[in-house]
Amino acid sequence: MSGQTGNLNGVILEGGNPFEAPRSRPYPLPPLEVTIPSVIYADACRELGYHPFPQPAGILSQAYQDRWGNVRSGCLYCGFCTRYGCEVDAKSMPVNTHIPPALRTGRYEIRAHSKVIRVNLGPGGRATGVTYIDEQGQEQEQPADVVVLSGFTFTNVRMLLLSRSDDHPGGIGNDQGLVGKNYTYQHWHGVSTGLFEGRRFNLYMGNTSTQNVIFDFQADVFDHSDLDFVGGGMLFSTLGERDPLASVGSLPVTDEGGKNWGQGWKDYLRQNWDSVATIVFQGESLPYEDQFLDLDPVYKAADGQPLLRLTFDWHQNDYNMYRFIAQRADEIMKQMGPTRQKTTKELDPYNIHKYQSTHPTGGAIMGTDPGNSVTNKYGQVWDTPNVFVTGAALYPQNPGVNPTGTLAPLAYMAAEAIRDRFFRNPDRILV
């Protein structure tokens, strides 16, 4: 991790996040460089009394050797980061962090181009392994003493619901009807965009995390006494790298008709794409009874099994929270001094066709007992003790930050519990 510690053993340090919980030691590496718009953003935030800091990231700011012996280079700020691989392995991904040392043990096998279609259940409702479709399209069975569902949120929930037997007619973990519940999304909106005519920001350089951020409007950091919502989130400047086409939808329009098409628009885009800054809001999403995941009664996947169905929309708390945050973003952008500015002051109804975030959580939540959750704190399924779930499906709530920072240590905790404690008594729920 690269970043600037803000709270070291209770001591607030300059340049970091003053609102973070105490850390026992600093980040392993210093923070990444930030872009020009991010510098302007941080200056404007300080002038308004806020507390900007460089966002910590799983991207190496310098060369680094991890505890498994992997040696990786620092970031080159090449500009091809978001949704790309990394040619120098500076961006932390399983393929350059965990998989290489796992392969070196000789006890880890990857079966590429294969897809698990269900967890197999035996007498008493225990898992006996999985059925998967191999590279040739043939069904295969893999016996197992313990099964770990470690896919994406939607994949894990769908697999639990598809894996049924007489003992678990509604699927694994669903004896109390809780699988699919507590689904939450996350707000991710480009709220305010400014055009700085005549300036060049070199937006073709950078990485996906070269940005400054403020936590002044996170959760309980600020006073909600006179507000009509609970929760909050973070505001940050434009993601670290941006190509010309990525600017098409965000440049403030120039003519009275508000057109963002035609030759005039193309010329305008060509001239100004590298002169744009956007303030983004990433906010928390609360769970509601009427938003959930279940199996679709009509549509099926290529394997013939039901697709997962999402039932979700924003609630009044979301609209009120966004309206408040949009006002703050508008004020910060004005302070940045653009020549033109566009702020979206109201939240549109949820629409899955427009990409907003890949941070969905919930559906197989952890908890204290089978009456309020699908798993215990280790991700062990209450009604099927030899099945574990890892990933963001475990989250009962979705805060206004990336879920990854908590997801990884939860997976470590589950792995250690399986290795050190589960096999001593495979029928027992861990406590």
The one-digit pLDDT tens for each residue of the chain (431 residues) are: 999 999 999 999 999 999 999 999 999 999 999 999 999 999 999 999 999 999 999 999 999 999 888 899 999 999 888 888 899 999 999 999 999 999 999 999 999 999 999 999 998 889 999 999 999 999 999 999 999 999 999 999 999 999 999 999 999 999 999 999 999 999 999 899 999 999 999 988 888 887 899 999 998 899 999 999 999 999 999 776 776 676 666 676 555 456 777 888 888 888 888 898 999 999 999 999 999 999 999 999 988 999 999 999 999 999 999 999 999 999 999 999 999 999 999 999 998 887 788 899 999 999 999 999 999 999 999 999 999 999 999 999 998 998 988 999 999 999 999 999 999 888 889 87
**CATH top-level class for 111-183+360-424?**
alpha beta
Q: Please report where in the chains the tokens 């004005």 appear, as a residue.
A: 334
Would you kindly state where each structural domain of the chain is located, as residue ranges? 111-183+360-424
**pTM for the complete prediction?**
0.93
Q: Which residues contact 150 (CB under 8 A, 6 or more apart)?
A: 156, 389, 390, 391, 411
Reading the block at residue 386, the tokens are: 């030899």
Question: Which run of H or of E encompasses 18?
Answer: none
The candidate with the shortest Cα–Cα distance to 32, out of 54, 10, 11, is: 54
Give the model's pLDDT for residue 161: 99
| C-beta separation of 120 from 130 below 8 A | yes
Beta strands across the sheet bearing 233-236: 53-54, 212-214, 233-236, 276-283, 187-195, 340-343
Distance CA 298, CA 179 (A): 19
Give the model's pLDDT for residue 69: 87
Partner residues linked to 411 by β-bridges: none
* Catalytic annotation, residues: 359
DSSP characters over 50-113: ---EEPPBSB-SS-EE-TT--EEPPP--BS--TTS--TTS-B--TTTTTHHHHHHTT-----TT
Give the model's pLDDT for residue 99: 94
Which amino acid, 116?
Answer: V
SS3 content of the chain, % helix, strand, coil (to 5): 20, 20, 55
**Cβ atoms within 10 Å, residue 408:** 15
Reading the block at residue 304, the tokens are: 């013939």
Helices of type H across 151-200 = 153-162
